[in-house]
């Protein structure tokens, strides 16, 4: 008999996707504000390499409202870290939310080469220019609804810091220090030690937390709740705010 036909090739791996967050940014008239891009769009651990704001909100001339991307590091010209909202003297509309379509492009740059796995999507950004400035002092908010990070044994997972804690208030706030308690700050301990082979590490350059679960992580398949210290710094004023927030982690089979 003829040999059986070869098995069909495996299905292609799913393409990377962009998750739109329906984020909101506001600023008083004749002022500006910054907000982390992770509040508006994310794509796994990829970096933001392009922002395209739809007219007329890409300039001040028409509506006196401008939305643009902020590049935090001049040595990395294709890497954006925040959205900037600029409200002029006569923004239109005033004291009313407006939807602005923004195209976000993401990519990964392995070993310092060209960006790969690039993906783009148009997301809605909710924008408000207000007549009354907000004088409430900035404060760190614990994002308890999303403060969880999970991965499998012998693997790693990245998650944006703003998923765990963020600053409410005007300014360009970035995490400047994150302190993870012992023993989860390093992959240490004997085979019976609690916290062995589990490490939660801050990656401040990309504003993320990385969970690393080793092959013999202890405990396994059990949620652990940690008090993690977050300190944020405003790049505009230099002011700092801080708070300890709960973070839940889990290494699954």
Which CATH number belongs to the domain containing residue 190 in this structure? 2.60.40.10
| Chain centre distance of CA 250 | 20
How do residues 149-164 score in pLDDT, each as one tens digit?
Answer: 999 999 999 999 999 9
Residue 207: phi and psi, rounded to 5, are: 55, 55
Query: Is residue 10 in a domain?
Result: no
Check whether residue 66 and residue 110 sit in a common domain: yes
Query: Is residue 7 in a domain?
Result: no
- Confidence category of residue 196, pLDDT binned at 50, 70, 90: confident
Check whether residue 123 and residue 61 sit in a common domain: yes
Range of 72's domain?
19-130
Q: Are 230 and 140 in contact (CB under 8 A)?
A: yes
Query: Is residue 32 in a domain?
Result: yes
Query: Which carries the bigger pLDDT value, residue 78 or residue 25?
Result: 25
Cα–Cα dist 46/36, whole Å: 15
Check whether residue 95 and residue 145 sit in a common domain: no
Check whether residue 207 and residue 102 sit in a common domain: no
How do residues 200-233 score in pLDDT, each as one tens digit?
Answer: 999 999 899 999 999 989 999 999 999 999 999 9
pLDDT of residue 251: 95
How do residues 49-105 score in pLDDT, each as one tens digit?
Answer: 899 999 999 999 889 999 999 876 656 666 888 899 999 999 999 999 999 999 999
Q: Are 41 and 104 in contact (CB under 8 A)?
A: yes
Check whether residue 232 and residue 184 sit in a common domain: yes
- DSSP letter at 12 equals P
Number of domains in the chain: 2
């Amino acid at each position: 008999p003829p040999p059986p036909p070869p098995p069909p090739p495996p299905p292609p791996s799913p393409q990377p996707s962009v998750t739109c967050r329906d984020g909101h940014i506001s600023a008083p008239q004749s002022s500006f504000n910054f907000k982390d891009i992770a509040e508006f769009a994310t794509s796994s651990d990829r970096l933001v390499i392009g922002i395209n704001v739809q007219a007329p909100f890409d300039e001040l001339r028409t509506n006196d409202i401008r939305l643009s991307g902020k590049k935090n590091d001049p040595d990395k010209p294709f890497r954006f870290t925040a959205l900037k909202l600029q409200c002029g003297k006569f923004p239109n509309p005033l004291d009313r939310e407006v939807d602005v379509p923004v195209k976000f492009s993401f990519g990964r740059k392995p070993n310092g080469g060209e960006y790969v796995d690039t993906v783009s999507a148009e997301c809605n950004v909710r924008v408000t220019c207000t007549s009354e400035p907000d004088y409430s002092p900035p404060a760190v908010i614990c994002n308890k609804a999303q403060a969880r990070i999970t991965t499998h044994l012998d693997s790693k997972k990245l998650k944006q810091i703003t998923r765990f804690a963020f600053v409410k208030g005007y300014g360009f706030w970035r995490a400047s220090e994150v302190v993870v308690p012992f023993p989860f700050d390093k992959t240490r301990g004997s085979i019976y030690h609690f916290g062995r082979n589990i490490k939660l590490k801050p990656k401040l350059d990309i504003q993320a937390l990385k969970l690393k679960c080793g092959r013999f992580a202890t405990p396994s398949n059990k949620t652990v709740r940690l008090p993690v210290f977050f300190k944020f710094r405003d790049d505009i004023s230099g002011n700092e705010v801080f708070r300890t927030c709960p973070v839940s982690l889990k290494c699954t089979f």
